[in-house]
Amino acid sequence: MGEVDPAFIQDVEHRPKLAATQTEGIPLIDLAPLAGYSPSDSAVDASAAAFKGLVAEIGEACKKWGFFFALYLVVVLDSFLFSLEQTYASLCSIFLCFSSSSEKYSFWFSVSCLLFFISNNRFFVVVNHGVAAEKRERIEWKAREFFGQSLEEKKKVRRDEKQVLGYYEMEHTKNVRDWKEVSDCTVQEPMLVAASPEDGEEAITEWINQWPEYPPGLREACEEYAQELKKVAYKLISVITSSLIAQSLGLPVNRFDEFYKDQTSFIRLNHYPPCPVPHLALGLGRHKDSGALTILAQDNVEGLQVKKKGDGEWIVVKPIPDAFIINVGSIMQVWSNDIYESVEHRVMVNSKKERFSIPFFFNPSHYTMVQPLKELTDEHNPPKYRAYKWGKFLVNRARSNLKKLDVENLQIYHFRL
């Protein structure tokens, strides 16, 4: 990335402290009732008594530990799962970490949950999500090979205004340049999106993947990983729906299915090179993910931090081998009318080690009107957001993150009522 351009330098109040607070605690809940789950039978599985018992159990666990608990630890023996909880309005953020395990568990979405309660932030950690370790290793290795090439090579698949998917190294978050390079590919082709961010313009366009010649096999690795992660996302959505059902008896268990038919989910390969000024710059500035759900694979180099509610302290999410970290995005915050709150997070860089991460952003179809679910609102609890069209939001963001602007780009608070 060459000389340190002032575009990378964070304002003083956003500069990272190099010694940040670590996460520690973890309770566990056995989610074995999810064994055998597959997206096609979500209605059956998710309505089963055992599943309901599980959701209730998680609610109890939340009650028991509440948000006073700073840290809590449970050691888990064999298989784990996790889950989202029934919520308590004051609780806000959720991160889930999943670990992969051997293939034999693919049919057993069994498990347990590692819940981190840090003040009133919650994290969940899980294994046995069914993604084979070698599939994850393959995409991680291909990402290393891809980013290991010269800038000239990588620029052959560079994104631009029209080809929005591909390589780029100029992303700005909150109008400060990130110390990273990325490559995006869609999960479902063709990916249909709005052609323009302007309201009233109905034209649709396709975003097409650009695959580099080198490394061979990158495409296959991404495609196979995408299929696996889609399955994990559906499982998560079914648990989230179930926990929301506890808030509203009128919410059908397949409530979210309609949004994912023509999904705009995508995978991002993130590479954070070593940085000579880690105390001044960030790999990725503070932000909330704008989709519904993110499933993140990080390597073993520390860097991800989430913001604790209340005192605003930044907490390191320590890497767990083979773990996925899952966080609720802004769409889920709107759908749930703030029952779930999207977590603010950022990435620190360091002067010695490079770091890689691979988020899977689970997003609905471009024509989805994002608004609080009507089953979760009434005259006592009115909608907190007006509806917005996801495809327009997505295109607006895609056009606004490559350069410094004078104002913050589009956020859900712009739709707050």
Name the residues that contact Fe ion, by CB under 5 A: 289
CA distance 172 to 175: 5
Geometric angle at alpha carbon 353, from 223 and 128, rounded to 5°: 45
* Residue 326 near ligand AKG by CB under 6 A: no
Per partner kind, with CB cut-offs from 5 to 8 A, the member of Fe ion, ligand AKG, none near residue 347 is ligand AKG
Query: Least CB distance from residue 257 to ligand AKG, whole Å?
Result: 25
Task: Indicate the residue whose CB is closest to ligand AKG.
Answer: 357
Query: Least CB distance from residue 324 to ligand AKG, whole Å?
Result: 11
Q: What number of other Cβ atoms are within 10 A of residue 311's Cβ?
A: 7
From candidates 181, 289, 302, 344, binder to ligand AKG by CB under 6 A: 289
From candidates 114, 347, 348, 412, binder to ligand AKG by CB under 6 A: 347
Structure tokens at 372: 């609080």
Which spans in 48-158 are helix H? 49-65, 133-147, 151-154
Number of residues that bind ligand AKG (CB under 6 A): 12
Question: By C-beta, is 55 or 293 nearer to ligand AKG?
Answer: 293
Among residue numbers 98 through 157, which ones bind ligand AKG (CB under 6 A)? none
Q: Look at residues 96, 376, 85, 377 and name the one whose alpha carbon lies nearest to residue 240.
A: 85
Per partner kind, with CB cut-offs from 5 to 8 A, the member of Fe ion, ligand AKG, none near residue 357 is ligand AKG
Query: Least CB distance from residue 298 to ligand AKG, whole Å?
Result: 5
Q: What number of other Cβ atoms are within 10 A of residue 276's Cβ?
A: 12
CA distance 332 to 342: 8
End-to-end CA distance of the chain: 42
From candidates 127, 284, 293, 349, binder to ligand AKG by CB under 6 A: 284
Site string for ligand AKG, 240-279 (x = CB under 6 A): ----------------------------x-x---------
Query: Least CB distance from residue 347 to ligand AKG, whole Å?
Result: 5
Q: Look at residues 118, 119, 76, 120 and name the one whose alpha carbon lies nearest to residue 98.
A: 76
Structure tokens at 96: 């889930």
Beta bridge partners of 268: 184
Asked if 360 contacts 188 with a C-beta cutoff of 8 angstroms, the reply is no
From candidates 359, 364, 372, 391, binder to ligand AKG by CB under 6 A: 359
Question: By C-beta, is 42 or 264 nearer to ligand AKG?
Answer: 264
CA distance 124 to 141: 26
Per partner kind, with CB cut-offs from 5 to 8 A, the member of ligand AKG, Fe ion, none near residue 391 is none
Strand segments (E) across 265-333? 266-272, 284-287, 293-298, 304-307, 314-316, 323-328
Asked if 139 contacts 225 with a C-beta cutoff of 8 angstroms, the reply is yes
Question: By C-beta, is 80 or 361 nearer to Fe ion?
Answer: 361
Per DSSP, 385 falls in state: B
* Residue 345 near ligand AKG by CB under 6 A: yes
Query: Least CB distance from residue 397 to ligand AKG, whole Å?
Result: 12
Residues forming contacts to ligand AKG in the complex (CB under 6 A) are 268, 270, 284, 289, 296, 298, 303-304, 345, 347, 357, 359
